[in-house]
Structure 1
Amino acid sequence: MIRAWEADPSSPLVRRLGKSPEELGTTGGESGCPDIWELENGDIAVIGRDLTDSYRARLPDGAKIAPDERLVIIPRTTAVAAKEDIPDA
Structure 2
Amino acid sequence: MGYAYYEITRNGETIQAGYSVPTDCEEDGCEENIDRGLAHLCGETPGGDEHGCGGYYCGNHLYMAPGPGMRDLCRRCCDRAEANEKQPA
TM-score over 0.5 (shorter chain): no
**TM-score, length-scaled by structure 2:** 0.22
Q: Identify, as 1 or 2, the structure richer in strand.
A: 2
**TM-score, length-scaled by structure 1:** 0.22
Higher RCO by CA contacts (8 Å cutoff, separation 6 or greater) = 1
Look at both structures and tell me which one has the larger radius of gyration over its CA atoms: 1
Q: Identify, as 1 or 2, the structure richer in helix.
A: 1
